[in-house]
Structure 1
Amino acid sequence: MPFADQLLTFSLAFLAYQLGRDSLEFTFSSRPQQKMSPSDSDLPKGKYPAKKHALKIKKNFLSKKGEEQTESTLFVAGGEIEPIKYCDQTKEFRQNRYFFYLTGVNIPGSAAFFDFKSEKLTLFLPDVDSDDVMWSGLPLSVEAAYEKFDVDEVLYAKKLPSFLSKFESSCIYTTDLDNVHDPNVAEMLVPSDPDLFYALDESRLTKDEYEIGLLRRAAKITDNCHLSVMSALPIEKNEGHFHAEFTYHAIRQGSKHQGYDPICCSGPNCSTLHYVKNDESLENKQSVLMDAGAEWENYTADVTRCFPLNGKFTKEHREIYDTVLKMQTEVMDRIKPGVEWEKLHILAHRVLIRSFLNLGIFKSGYSEEEILDRKASLCFFPHGLGHLLGMDTHDVGGRANYEDSNPLLKFLRLRRPLEENMVVTNEPGVYFNPFLIEEFLIKYPKRKEVVNEEIMEKYMYVGGVRIEDDVLVTADGCENLTGITSDPEEIERIVCDGINKGRSHFHVIA
C-alpha cells in the first residue's frame, strides 16, 4: 500500500478509536458506572481564602515567638519567570507555594505584605511594562485584582520601598531574598527565620474546605486520565504513549500542568521507584505501572495504578497485586485522627510478610515477627507508606527523619500523628528489583536466609506493583478522594473493553 494510503488509513483508524475513547464510561470502586466530567459546579465558591491563611500563619508564628511579636510583619515575594540560558525562551512558571498560600495569586513578579497588628493583607502587582503590553496584552488591573483576590489593598511594585519604610521599626520577616532585587528593600527584611518556616508549614499541614475542593477537582481529572490510559492500549506501543495519553486528557479537562513528571513503566521497569525514562517498548511485557497526578490551581493529585497489558493478570502479577491491595486496604481501614503514621507503615510491612509466607517467597520456618525484626521485607518495600499532599506532591509539615537508624522508618516522609483535614497518600508497594535485592538483601545474610530465592525469581518479570490513593483524614475516619477503581477484576474489564473497542474500530476502517 502506498505511504499516503497507509497514513490515511491510520488517521481514520485513530479518529474512529478516538471517538470511541471519548465516549467511554468511567468505572469507580464502590460506585455505580457513571460518566465523570468535572464541572465548575464542583469547584469551591468564592475567593481563595488568603486572609484566613494569613491569620493561621500569624497564630502559628506567635505560638513560637510569643505575643511580644504581635507587631511583626510578613513579606513574601512571589515567583518570577525564569529565562532558559542562551535562549530567548523561558522555563515553565510555577508559583512560589508559600506566596500562593498567602495570596491565591498566580501572577509572576507579585509580592505580598501582611501586618500582624492590623491584620491587613496587601498585594503588590508587577509594574505595567508598556513594551510587554504590545506583545502580550494588558495585565490584570488593580481594580480587577480587588475583585479576584481576598486581599485588603492592591498596589503596584514601584510603591513597595516607600510602603515598607513605614514599618522600619518592626521586624519584617520573609522566607528568602531570592526575588528581592532592590538592595534597600532587602536591608529591611529578616530572611530565613526557622520559626517563620515552622508557621508556614504548620499552616499548610491541614487543609480548609476551599483547598479540599481544589484537591477534589485535581483528583477527578486524574481519575479520568488514568482510566483513559487503561482504555487506550491499541494505540499505546511504548511507555511514552502512556505519558502522552495522560497529559492529553489532563489538558482537555483544563489541567495544563501535572504535579510531577509522570512515572510510566512496564515489565521489570516497574521495579524502579522513580522511573524517569518513559520511552521503552511494551513488546514482551506483561505489567504496567502508571504514577501520575493532574494539578488544579497549584493543588495536585498523586495516584498510581497498575494493570496487565493484555487485559488479564498473570498468576504472579495478580498475587503481588492482591498483596499490595491488601496492604493498602488494611491501612485505609485504620486511618483516622490520632493514629501514628509509623504504626500504619509497619502494619503494611506485616501484611506483606504474611502474604510472602503464603506464597513461599519467605520460608515457612520463620515467623512474621522474626522476619520483621530482620527487616527482610525492606528489600521488597523500601519506601515510606505515603506522604502529605497539597500544593506540593510531597507537601510540607511531615517532620521526616532521614537520619533515623531504623531503615524501615528512615524514608518515611510523615512522622507525626494524623490530624483531621490532613490529606495523605496511601501508597504501599512491592518490588522485585535486582539493585534493591543486592543492597537490602544480599548484603545481609540474616535477611537473605529467610528468602526462598528460587521462588522469588518467578516474580522478577512483574517488576513491581504500587497502588496509591489520595486520602482526606476526617473527624472519625477518612475519605478516599481517588475514584478510579483499584479492583483487579474491574481493571481487567476496562483494559479488555479498550482493547476490543480499539480492534473493532481498526477492523471497520480496514
Structure 2
Amino acid sequence: MKYSPIHNLLFIQNRKNFVSKMKPLSLAVFNSNDIYPISADSTMPFQQHRDIFYLSGVDQEESILVLFPDCPKEKHREILFLKETNEHLAIWEGEKLTKDAAYATSGIKTVYWLQDMEKIMYELMTQCDTIYINTNEHYRSSVETETREDRYTKWLKDKYPAHAVAKSATILQNLRSVKNQIEIDLIQQACNITEKGFRRVLNFLKPDVWEYEIEAEFMHEFLRNRSKGFAYSPIIASGNNANVLHYLENNKQCKSGDLLLLDVAAEYANYSSDMTRTIPVSGRYTQRQKDVYNAVNRVKIEATKMLVPGTDWANYHIEVGKLMTSELLSLGLLNKADVQNENPDWPAYKKYFMHGTSHHMGLDTHDYGILTDPMQANMVFTVEPGIYIPEEGFGIRLEDDVVIQNSGAPLNLMKNIPIEIEEIEDLMNS
C-alpha cells in the first residue's frame, strides 16, 4: 500500500459498533475480494472488499474476518484468517501480513493461517445459532461475477444448513454511512490530492491537447501523493462529450473555445473523493458559458445549504429541482409553458439536468447509505448539479464533497479547490 498506516482505533471502533447490532449467539464472516484474472497469467490490480477493510484494515487478498461476540472462548470473539507468508512468497510477491503486523493493523489479537480455517470454524459453528452473511445490497449494484464472498457463503450454508441466517448488509448500510473523524480525515486527504491534480491541469490545459493527456496529468499527481490512482473511472469530456454523462473514452482533442468537463478524483487509503469542475480550454469563458456556469454554481451553493440533519433525500431532490427550474427559465432554456405542462414524473428541468444532485460518499464513491433514512451529522455527500446543452455544444457540472454538521452549514472538504470563474481564469492565464 502507498498510504500511511491508519490508526487501528478506527477498525476497533467499527467492529465494536457492528457487534453491538448482532443477535445473541451469532457469528459474522467477511471475506476479502478475489484477484480477478484478465487472460493468460495477467490479473487486474487487487482492490480490497470495502467491508472487511472497514472492520479490520486488512488490505490483502485471501483474508477472512470472523466476529463472534458471545463466543465462550474470549480469544475467538475476533479472528483473522490470513494467507500464510513465507520466504518464497516474500521473494516473488513481497511479504504478506505477519501475525504481529495483522494485530498492529487491525487490533485483532487472534490470527490464524487460512489452512486452519475449516477446523476452527467447525468449533465456532457448534457454539452459535445464527450466521451473518455479507451480501451486496447497494441500490446501484449490478454484479454478475461470483465473488469470493459468494463462494464462501455457499460453502458455509451447505456445510451448516441448520443455522439461522441474517444479513450484515443492513447493519453496514447504517454504520458505514456515518463517518468516524479518522474516516473524514482520510477523505479530506483524498480531496487534497485531487486539488493538487486539478491545479496541475489548470496550468497544463491549452487548445489542441488531448483528453488522455489531461488524464495522464491527474494520474501523475495522484501517484506522487501516495494515492494508487483514480477513485473511479475518470471523465475528461471536452465540448459536446460533456453531454454524455458517463463519457469514459477520453480520446478527443480539446478545441479552442470549448469547455472541458472534468469528473475526476483521487482515492486515498481506499477512501474516495469525487470532484467535478468545468474549465475553458482557451483559458477564458464566453459570456454564455459564464451565464450557464454561474447558474449551476448558484444551484450548488443553495443545494449544499439544504444538507443538514433530518433532511429527507427524496424531498431534497424535489427542492433542488425547483432551484434548477428557476435558473433554466432565466437562461431561456425553459419557458413557463414547459413548466406548466410538465410531467410530474419527469419534470421539465430534467431535459437539461437529468441526474441526481447528491449521493453518499466514503469507501465507495457511491457509498453505503439508506436513502429513505433522514440525513445525519457526519454523513458525507456530494453536491453535483449540472446543465447539459447538446445544441450549444457544451455541458457544465460542478461537484464538491461535504460533511453534514450537527449545526450550521456543511463542511466543504473541497473548499480549497478553485471553482469561481475569476479564480479559474486567473490561474489559467497566470
Please give the TM-score of this superposition, normalised by the length of structure 2. Answer: 0.87
Identity, in percent, stands at 28
Instruction: Map Cα deviations across residues 378-403 of structure 1 (whole Å, 9 max, x no partner).
Output: 1111101110001111111244xxxx
2:81 aligned with 1:109, yes or no?
Answer: no
2:133 aligned with 1:174, yes or no?
Answer: yes
Q: Distance in 2 between matches of 1:305 and 1:343?
A: 26
Aligned partner of 2:300 in structure 1 is 328
Letter in 1 for 2:188: R
Per the alignment, in what secondary structure is the counterpart of residue 401 of structure 2? Answer: strand
Q: CA 1:107/1:432 → structure 2, altered by over 3 Å: closer, same or farther? A: same
Q: 1:309 Cα shift? A: 1.0
Whether the 8 Å contact between 2:57 and 2:105 is mirrored in structure 1 is: no
Per the alignment, in what secondary structure is the counterpart of residue 84 of structure 1? Answer: strand
Per the alignment, in what secondary structure is the counterpart of residue 7 of structure 2? Answer: coil
Q: Which residue, 417, 420, 429 being the options, matches 2:386?
A: 429
Aligned partner of 2:401 in structure 1 is 470
Matched ranges for 1:52-67 at <5 A: 52-60=13-21, 62=22
Which of the pair has the greater relative contact order for Cα pairs under 8 Å at 6+ separation?
1
2:358 aligned with 1:386, yes or no?
Answer: yes
Q: 1:320 Cα shift? A: 0.9
Whether the 8 Å contact between 1:51 and 1:150 is mirrored in structure 2 is: yes
Q: 1:44 Cα shift? A: 9.0
Q: Distance in 2 between matches of 1:173 and 1:257?
A: 33
Q: 1:186 Cα shift? A: 6.0
Aligned partner of 1:144 in structure 2 is 101
Largest Rg, 1 or 2? 1
2:211 aligned with 1:239, yes or no?
Answer: yes
Q: Distance in 2 between matches of 1:287 and 1:384?
A: 22
Instruction: Map Cα deviations across residues 403-460 of structure 1 (whole Å, 9 max, x no partner).
Output: xxxxxxxxxxxx4421111000000111124xxxxxxxxxxxxxxxxxxxxxxx4xx1
Aligned partner of 2:26 in structure 1 is 72
Aligned partner of 1:16 in structure 2 is none
Letter in 1 for 2:413: L
Q: 1:351 Cα shift? A: 2.1
Per the alignment, in what secondary structure is the counterpart of residue 285 of structure 2? Answer: coil
Q: CA 1:236/1:140 → structure 2, altered by over 3 Å: closer, same or farther? A: farther
Q: Distance in 1 between matches of 2:339 and 2:351?
A: 15
Aligned partner of 2:42 in structure 1 is 89
Whether the 8 Å contact between 1:172 and 1:188 is mirrored in structure 2 is: no
Matched ranges for 1:28-67 at <5 A: 46-47=7-8, 49-60=10-21, 62=22
Aligned partner of 1:19 in structure 2 is none
Aligned partner of 1:164 in structure 2 is 121
Q: CA 1:231/1:472 → structure 2, altered by over 3 Å: closer, same or farther? A: same
Q: CA 1:148/1:375 → structure 2, altered by over 3 Å: closer, same or farther? A: closer
Q: Distance in 2 between matches of 1:192 and 1:244?
A: 51
Matched ranges for 1:12-411 at <5 A: 46-47=7-8, 49-60=10-21, 62=22, 69-85=23-39, 87-118=40-71, 120-128=77-85, 131-169=88-126, 170=128, 171-175=130-134, 178-179=147-148, 187-188=158-159, 195-234=167-206, 237-363=209-335, 365-366=336-337, 373=344, 375-399=347-371
Letter in 2 for 1:388: H
CA RMSD of aligned residues (A): 2.6
Letter in 1 for 2:219: T
Q: 1:130 Cα shift? A: 5.3
Q: 1:369 Cα shift? A: 6.4
Q: CA 1:194/1:387 → structure 2, altered by over 3 Å: closer, same or farther? A: farther
